[in-house]
Structures are given as structure tokens and as C-alpha cells.
Amino acid sequence: MKQIKFKNSQINLRNKFLKFGVKMIGPETIFFSEDTKLGKNVIIEPYVVFGPKVKIGDNVTIKSFSHLENCKVENKVDIGPYARVRPGSILKEGSKVGNFVEIKKSTLGKKSKVNHLAYIGDSQIGKSVNIGAGTITCNYDGVKKSKTKIKDNVFIGSNSSLVAPIRIDEGSVVGAGSVITKNVRKKSLALTRSLQIEIKNYKRKRK
């Protein structure tokens, strides 16, 4: 009985949003909550799940296999595929959360991008920030959660670890592969990378 009720509820919600002008690809694979709110010209690809308390703005695209819950998404945002937007997150206008990105209890500023393979938790990210692939905010030390603050126009290189609490000031660059444990000043380059060593004519030992 519960399954029939749930199925009918989903059919009604899908029909409501389709009539409103939402474009769904494979609507039978998309699942909504009763309180889901969608703006105009929203595109939803297959296998997207909306948990409770999700509010989506206008001209938003949500790609396949993304999961959203208790979050606010402003206009012209691009999400997914395979993105997870967890409770307490706000995605500002023109921002992007790409494939295999998890964002939790964080604000992503206007036109900022986290394109792939990243974890952003307990963070405040400014405008026009680029977060490279493989970047994580190390927000939990085993006892408490700490915050990461990234100001406007910051570039975070791929595979960086930002150990919270930490602040990256405006216009700064973090080099790829860095582990950042101290605040980075405005318009600075921060690197914590070991020197590359090259041994010429090296012969690998063999059995």
C-alpha cells in the first residue's frame, strides 16, 4: 500500500513540474520530495534524487545521478553528473558543482567552480573561485569541525588539501599538490610541494 501511495505521489509531482515547464529526461527515474521547489527553465537528467527542503532557481541544469537535500540553488547553476549537494549548502548564481563532487554545509559564490572529484565541507567560498580536481577541505580533526574561508578570485590547484581552520585571501593561488595548513595572504602563491629529483641513467633493480 505504501509503495502504491509513493508511486502515485511521484507521478503527481512529475506531472506538476512538467506542466510548469521543467524539462525532464527520463522522468520515471527522477524522484522528488513533497516540498521540492523548482524555478523556470530547469533541466533534470535521469536518476536525480531530491531529498527534503530543496529549492532550485531558474535556468538550472541538474545532470544524471545527482543527489540534493536541504539546499538552495540559485539561478544559472550547473550540477553534476554524480554530484552530491548535502544539507546547509548554498550554490550562488552561475556556479558549478561538477562530476563526483560532494559539497556539505558550504556556500559556493557566484561563478565559482568545483568541476570534479572534490570534497567541500564547512566552507565559505567567494566569487569566481576555481577549485581544482581532487581538492579537499580537511574540516574534521576527529574531535570538531572547522571552517575554510576562500575569498574572491582564488585559484586552488589540483589535488590540494586545505586543513581547516584556514583562510585563503583574495586573488591568491594554491599550487597543485599542496597541503595548506596556514592562512594565505592576498595575491600570494602558496606551495608545499617537495622538490623533484631526477637520477639520470637509473637502472631499476630486477628479480
Peptide bond into 81 cis (omega under 30): yes
* pLDDT at residue 5 tops 90: no
Active site residues: 116
Query: Does 1-81 match 106-192 in CATH topology?
Result: yes
- pLDDT of 1 over the 80 cut: no
pLDDT of residue 110: 98
Please state the domain extents for the chain: 1-81, 106-192
Number of H helices, E strands in the chain: 1, 23
According to the model, what pLDDT value does residue 26 have? 96
Mean of per-residue pLDDT scores for the chain = 96
CATH architecture observed for domain 1-81: 3 Solenoid (2.160)
Residue 170 has pLDDT above 90, yes or no: yes
3.40.50.300, 3.40.50.2300, 3.40.50.1820, 2.160.10.10: CATH of 106-192: 2.160.10.10
Q: Average pLDDT of 91-101?
A: 98
> Is 90 exceeded by the pLDDT of residue 37?
yes
For residue 48, the one-letter residue type is V
Element (H, E) at 136: strand 136-138
